[in-house]
Structure formats: C-alpha cells, structure tokens
Amino acid sequence: MERSAIVSSLLLLALCACKLPTTPAVEHGLPQNPYRVVSVAPQTFEDIVALGIAPVGAYRVYTDQALMSADTWQSIHPLTAPPNVEQVLSLRPDVIFTVGPNAAESLSRIAPTINIKDFTNFSDWRTRHREVARLLHREPQAEAGIADTDRKIDQVRADFARHPFRVLMGHVSANTRSMVIFPDNQNTAKLMKAIGLRYGKLHNQNLSDSHGTTVSWERVDDLDCDAFFVTPAPYENLAERDKVAQQLALLAAQPLWNRLSFVKAGHVFYMDSYWQMITPITADRVMEDLERDLLGRDLDSQWHIRLPLSSSSGS
C-alpha cells in the first residue's frame, strides 16, 4: 500500500471518531472566509463560481468550461456522484456543499458540510443563490450578480417585445422512443417567460407538471410551439449521451417529426447542459443563446467577461 493511501486510511479512522456538525447546525461552524470549498451538489457549483470562488473540487455535471480560464478549470478537481470520501478528504476542504442526508452524513466527518436542501428548494434560482452566498459570507457579491442579471433580462425583454415566440424545451430519452417536455415552472422556462417569450403547450394543455411530461414519438404533433430546445437529460453520462445522439438521429428521420412547422423552419436547437441549472452565470448564457438562435443577434461580445475568480486552492 502506498504511503498516501495509508495516510488517507488513518485520517478516515480518526475522522470517524470526531464527526463535525451537519446542517442546519453547521452554520455556526462555518469559516468567515472559506477558500477550500468542495461542491458535490451540482445545483450549487456555478453559484459558488459566480460568487468569485473557484472550488478545489466539484461535481461539474452542468458546467460550462468557458466560464473560467483554462488554468482555473484545470485546478478544480473533478468529483463523482456519489462522492468518494477519500477523494474529498485528499482535497482538505474547509466547507463542503452536498445534496441529500446520506452524503452529508459521511462528508461531515471531513469538514462542515452543507446539505443545500436544508436551506432552500430549487424552484427559484435567486433564492438558492442568495442562500449559498449567505453561507459563504458573500451576500454583496450575490446581490451585485443578481442585479446585473436583472438588468440583462430587461434588455433582452425589450429585444423580444415584437417577437413573442412560443418555445418548448425538453430532452430525448436514451432508451425509449419518447421525450420529456420540461414544465413551465422549471427555472429555464421561467427565465424564457421573464424575457417575454411564451411557453408552448401540448395540444392546448398547459405544462405545469413539476416532473415534466413524457411524449412519445407518435404524439410529437401535440407539440405546440415556434421553437424547440433540446437539452441533455439530467445527470446524463457519456454512455447515455451516445445513445441519445443515436435516438436524435432516428427522430430526425421520422416523417411525423419532419412535418412539424418548427422543424420545417429550422427552429430545433441542441443546447448544452448549463441550460438545466440557472445561476447568474448560466442565465447570461441562456439569454445569449436565445438571442442568437431566435433573433440572429450576438450578445456574447457585449456580455462575456471572464470571471475574476479567487483561488480556493491555497495552503
């Protein structure tokens, strides 16, 4: 056994005897200026980045690499789900973000561990972002970021005022001839409505199911919209991604699909994973995508500023 493995094992044994508080009691033990932050809750990774902190390790399932410099991206150790305790331990974190009680129970032996579900739900990105900022003592940064995003929402709403497209978004199943249409209260759908777009329907049926609505390929003519945005499935792995690509190719060959007006107009757009989780950063990206795809405008040159991240990898 290598020396590093022996040290990790000994540390784990020691930690088992001195468990640290879990949330919500953990609030009282958080450092004032945490700089070695670990996020195994993908819902919080970009919130942390938007606050100017580059985590030492993160589960980056929703992440857009272009958010930060190549050096910063490389410095963030990629983590898996469920988290590997020894891997997290090796990063020497002073704060850990996770989601769900099981992971919090094991990780709390390493450092103060925040189960984000104890503090907020995920129905409103502003609420989640403010809670993450409060726990990291970065409230001013959060308010500045939210204000900037709201200013951009107003700008884009003015651009779409004369073009109230009806839009839908969803993901294609990797294993069945079906797709899941996101509800109109999903964060990205709510952003679409905030900028003046109308969320489409399924055969005059409002989409309010919080878990999405499954539509078989035989019923795609129920999709009532002017543009359709295809996103990766939540937590989609590489093997599933390959299957989805095959399914998309099969769907594109279906006569019924090709008769749809938005397909004929070329208004089917394939989006990146950041569309699934709205933060002040991804909100900018989604609005840039919508302006480019629906209006042919490029906001990237106006908005894209590389984030000034503080290093969280200091000793």
The predicted-structure confidence for 128-153, as pLDDT tens digits, reads as follows 999 999 999 999 999 999 999 999 99
Of 226, 272, 228, whose CA–CA distance to 252 is shortest?
A: 228
CB atoms within 10 A of CB 214: 14
Q: What residues form DSSP beta bridges with 167? A: 199, 227
CATH of 8-140, one of 3.30.1950.10, 3.40.50.1980, 3.40.50.150, 3.90.550.10: 3.40.50.1980
CA 132 – CA 95 distance, rounded (Å): 12
Look at residue 218 in the predicted model and tell me its pLDDT: 94
Decide if 135 contacts 27 (C-beta within 8 A): yes
Cα torsion angle, 194, 145, 50, 42, sign? negative
The predicted-structure confidence for 251-306, as pLDDT tens digits, reads as follows 999 999 999 999 999 999 998 888 888 888 889 889 999 999 999 987 654 444 33
| Topology agreement, domain 8-140 and domain 161-300 | yes
The predicted-structure confidence for 85-102, as pLDDT tens digits, reads as follows 999 999 999 999 988 777
- How much is the average pLDDT of 73-92? 89
Look at residue 305 in the predicted model and tell me its pLDDT: 39
Residue 251, H or E segment: helix 238-252
CATH of 161-300, one of 3.40.50.1980, 3.40.50.1370, 3.40.50.720, 3.30.43.10: 3.40.50.1980
User: Domain residue spans in the chain?
Assistant: 8-140, 161-300
Cα torsion angle, 187, 193, 198, 203, sign? positive
CA 159 – CA 298 distance, rounded (Å): 12
The predicted-structure confidence for 247-263, as pLDDT tens digits, reads as follows 999 999 999 999 999 99
